[in-house]
């Protein structure tokens, strides 16, 4: 789940990270008062859960409280990625000498957190990684052992930072790493992390995402931030297609057919099993495919549930074919899945042999599943074909 910027800053403040004077306003009048209390020029930032605020007009500057009031009135009216702001963060504007980037996130390959640090902040970090790799460091650390300041110091100094800048930056990066581990975050980012003209360092913007599953264990933090249980914090409101996906899952308790996310591609995906969904989604994209959706199906869903998900995916305009792929399954039956998917195709008025680009569900009851797939002329593979190979084979059939 995602935090608003002002909440992320509250978390940073608890851990001693220096921040600008600030206040959250929900009306133009509150923004005017906040600007008067802060004194001097301010920046006003829309509090939405999506990025792209600057481009959308969700960030404005004001030199006086009256200007701040007008700016807040304008910002509060702007929807960004379909979201109305929950408020405006009014923050003192400081003169910046240099911008840095600091983040802690998960490194899936290393299976450890990684500190990403750059002395070129304020811009897209992907661009820095591509065009100025010598200005970016990646430093893994253990989330099981206590975090040592030394690791943060290494991360910062790898980009060439030395002298009296090293100490304060190390302290901020240390706090960021501890926040990441303590609150089960998947991303803790400060961008830009600024060195001001007076030589002090300050976090100007921050972005934090927490593991969805950590909501219970992190209830104390959520209470402290004033986030109620019913506040789901999705990055955007669910589309009707996604709502329908949740209904398919809720209508039948057998197995899982959930987390349906809509994309604008032409290949429907019915994917899952033991983390397989993400791998398979990435495999489709790596092969040049354009997924129409993401989903997670598994836990031995009923034939009816698999059929309902298939029909839903096929009902999405532009979906030409579906790829049915899973990791090796033990608690989901390949034959039950085969029945459900084929039934879904037929009920949607589609020929399963033409519609299913690939069926790869190796494991439990696969031989029985193969009999069904053969009967309906569906192209299937067993575990000797990797998930990536299966995805590539499916992508090759699109538009064929």
Partner 1 sequence: MAMFIRVDIPEDVQAEEPLRKQLVEVCPVDIFALDGERVVTVEANLDECTLCDLCIEASGSRVKVVKLYE
Residue listed under structure tokens 């008067």: 36
Q: Does 24 bind partner 1 (CB under 8 A)?
A: no
Nearer to partner 1, 20 or 298 (CB): 298
Q: Does 329 bind partner 1 (CB under 8 A)?
A: no
Contact pick of 342, 358, 361, 394 for partner 1 (by CB under 8 A):
342
Nearer to partner 1, 138 or 375 (CB): 375
Residue listed under structure tokens 């190796």: 362
**Angstrom distance (rounded) from CA 260 to CA 246:** 7
Secondary structure (H, E, C), 164-193: HHHHHHHHHHHHHHHHHHHCCEEEEEEEEE
Answer whether 97's CB lies under 8 Å from 90's CB.
no
Residues 92-111 that bind partner 1 (CB under 8 A): none
Shortest distance (Å) from residue 251 CB to partner 1 = 13
Q: Which residues pair with 257 in a beta bridge?
A: 297
The token duo for 100 is 């840095």
Q: Does 368 bind partner 1 (CB under 8 A)?
A: yes
Query: SS3 helix, strand, coil % of the chain, rounded to 5?
Result: 40, 25, 35
Shortest distance (Å) from residue 88 CB to partner 1 = 54
Size of residue set near partner 1 by CB under 8 A: 15
**Angstrom distance (rounded) from CA 68 to CA 27:** 11
**Angstrom distance (rounded) from CA 175 to CA 352:** 54
Contact pick of 8, 43, 336, 381 for partner 1 (by CB under 8 A):
336
The verdict on whether omega for the bond into residue 192 sits within 30 degrees of 0, i.e. cis, is yes
Nearer to partner 1, 124 or 347 (CB): 347
Q: Does 302 bind partner 1 (CB under 8 A)?
A: yes
Only one of the segments 56-64, 197-205, 332-340, 355-363 lies at the binding site for partner 1 (rule: CB under 8 A); that segment is: 332-340
Contact pick of 304, 328, 385, 396 for partner 1 (by CB under 8 A):
304
Nearer to partner 1, 343 or 393 (CB): 343
Residues forming contacts to partner 1 in the complex (CB under 8 A) are 302-304, 333, 335-336, 339, 342-343, 346, 368, 371-372, 375-376
């Amino acid at each position: 789940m995602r935090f608003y910027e002002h909440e992320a800053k509250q978390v940073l403040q608890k851990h001693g990270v220096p921040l600008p004077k600030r206040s959250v306003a929900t009306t133009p009048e509150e923004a005017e008062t906040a600007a008067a209390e802060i004194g001097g020029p301010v920046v006003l930032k829309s509090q939405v859960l999506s990025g792209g605020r600057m481009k959308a007009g969700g960030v404005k500057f004001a030199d006086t409280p009256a200007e701040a009031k007008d700016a807040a009135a304008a910002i509060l009216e702007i929807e960004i990625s379909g979201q109305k702001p929950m408020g405006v963060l009014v923050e003192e504007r400081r003169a910046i000498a240099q911008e840095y980037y600091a983040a802690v996130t998960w490194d899936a390959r290393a299976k450890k957190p990684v500190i990403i640090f750059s002395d070129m902040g304020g811009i897209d970090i992907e661009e820095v990684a591509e065009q100025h790799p010598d200005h970016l460091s990646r430093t893994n650390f253990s989330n099981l052992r206590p975090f040592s300041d030394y690791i943060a110091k290494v991360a910062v100094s790898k980009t060439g930072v030395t002298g009296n800048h090293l100490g304060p930056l190390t302290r901020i990066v240390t706090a960021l790493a501890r926040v990441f581990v303590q609150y089960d975050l998947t991303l803790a980012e400060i961008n830009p992390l600024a060195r001001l003209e007076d030589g002090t360092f300050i976090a100007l913007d921050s972005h934090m995402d927490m593991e969805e599953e950590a909501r219970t264990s992190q209830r104390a933090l959520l209470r402290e931030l004033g986030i109620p249980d019913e506040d789901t914090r999705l990055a955007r409101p669910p589309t009707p297609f996604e709502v329908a996906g949740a209904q398919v899952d809720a209508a039948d308790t057998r197995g899982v057919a959930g987390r349906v996310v809509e994309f604008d591609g032409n290949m429907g995906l019915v994917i899952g099993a033991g983390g397989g969904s993400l791998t398979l989604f990435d495999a489709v994209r790596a092969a040049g495919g354009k997924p129409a959706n993401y989903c997670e199906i598994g836990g031995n869903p009923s034939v009816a549930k698999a059929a309902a998900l298939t029909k839903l995916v096929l009902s999405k305009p532009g979906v030409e074919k579906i790829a049915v792929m899973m990791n090796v399954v033990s608690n989901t039956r390949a034959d039950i899945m085969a029945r459900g998917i084929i039934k879904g195709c037929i009920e949607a008025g589609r020929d399963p042999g033409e519609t299913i680009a690939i069926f790869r569900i190796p494991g439990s009851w696969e031989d029985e599943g193969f009999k069904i797939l053969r009967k309906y002329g569906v192209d299937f593979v067993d575990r000797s074909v990797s998930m990536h190979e299966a995805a590539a084979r499916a992508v090759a059939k699109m538009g064929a």
